[in-house]
Amino acid sequence: MIQQSKLIGQINHFRADSSGWIGSVIMFIFALIAGYRWHTSGLIFFGLLLVRDLAASWFLISRKPSKEKTDLRVIELIAYLSSGFPFIYLNPHHSLPQAGLLSSILAVIGFAISTLAVFDLGRSFGVSPANRGVVRTGLYRYVRHPMYTGYVISEFGFVLLNPFNYILWVISIALYLYRSILENRVLDLPDLASSLGDGRN
């Protein structure tokens, strides 16, 4: 079923969606850190991060109730671990001369894509797999999981900075693929293999 997600919606009661409120507080703290980093470093990248985290924080407390979601706490845990996985990437080491510039460019492009995807999702936004309606507007018209696509692009910058991050990057992609498959099942969307024969759903 196609639903048009709205930007401004009713704030959910804490008891109705406690996980949304907890996630919202976490994203708001991330937004404050991003704002501080923007102020101290002057790097506009942190401004982009600030907008992304504020948007996610808002949508998590105003999101639509889920019609169906995963009951297994393990899957929820994997989703949140996947979200925090980028923190364990190794520091720059044995990087190419232009690696810093390329990784910064990839980070900006990747975060821009994922931030646009957050706005496209709107009140359908969530971290763990849940059915809040299928979104097919904006970037979701072209890519089924643009948020994960943006993360993969931005995280490749870490590989350029340190070749040993390649293994972590592959693990991160595997986690995103796993989340994608679960979300496709919850949203009752065909898997990639079955959809390759027909480019459009």
Partner 1 sequence: MKRIFKILVVVLALSALVQTIALAKVKTGDTTDSSKGHSDPTV
47 is a contact residue toward partner 1 (CB under 8 A): yes
Burial class (CB in 10 A: 0-12, 13-18, 19+), 128: buried
171 is a contact residue toward partner 1 (CB under 8 A): no
45 is a contact residue toward partner 1 (CB under 8 A): yes
The alpha carbon torsion through 6, 9, 14, 17 (nearest 10 deg) reads -20
The mark string for 49-68 relative to partner 1 (x by CB under 8 A, - otherwise) is: --xx--x-------------
Q: If residue 31 lies in a helix (H) or strand (E), which one and from where to where?
A: helix 18-41
Residue 68 C-beta: closest distance to partner 1, Å? 26
82 is a contact residue toward partner 1 (CB under 8 A): no
CA 152 – CA 146 distance, rounded (Å): 10
19 is a contact residue toward partner 1 (CB under 8 A): no
Interacting span for partner 1 (CB under 8 A) from 43-51, 67-75, 158-166, 173-181: 43-51
Buried-exposed string 11-31: b where 16+ CB fall within 10 A, e elsewhere:
ebeeeebeebbebbebbbebb
Tell which one of 105, 177, 181, 189 touches partner 1 (CB under 8 A).
105
CB 119 within 8 A of CB 55: yes
Residue 88 is classified by DSSP as G
129 is a contact residue toward partner 1 (CB under 8 A): no
Tell which one of 44, 72, 88, 192 touches partner 1 (CB under 8 A).
44
112 is a contact residue toward partner 1 (CB under 8 A): yes
